[in-house]
Amino acid sequence: MWPNITERVANKTLLCPFCRYPLSFREDELHCDRGRCGFSSHVTDLIEAGLATARRVAPNGEALPAHTYACPSCGSPLSFREGYGTCEGCGFAAPRGLQFNLLERHHHDESR
């Protein structure tokens, strides 16, 4: 269903877009244990699509600017323009809707 995500979750290399903690599955839902936040299947679809263009690069551990989402693939800042997100670190390309859905439909505990 989500082949890229499933593989990366198994390797602990899929990062929470809010806090960069490695994501896991709870039941069938993608989940950040640190932020106590589950991800909708729609957002999971969007992340899976974005991973199709992502190169494997070393994770970026530099501090994230405030109010910035992290690339789920490498942890670099995701920049959004007209709803589309891109990561300069690895080429992850977020389809339209990812930013909106993260902002409006998910509650992640504040700590990073």
Task: Please give the residue ranges that form the binding site for Zn ion (CB under 5 A).
Answer: 16, 18-19, 21, 32, 34-35, 71, 73-74, 76, 87, 89-90, 92
Q: Which is nearer to Zn ion, 6 or 31 (CB)?
A: 31
**Residue 89 Cβ vs Zn ion, minimum distance, rounded to whole Å:** 4
Partnered with residue 15 across adjacent β-strands are: 22
54 Cβ neighbours under 8 A, 6+ residues apart: 71, 73, 74, 87, 90, 91, 92, 93
Which tokens is 103 given?
């902002």
**Residue 18 Cβ vs Zn ion, minimum distance, rounded to whole Å:** 4
**Residue 43 Cβ vs Zn ion, minimum distance, rounded to whole Å:** 13
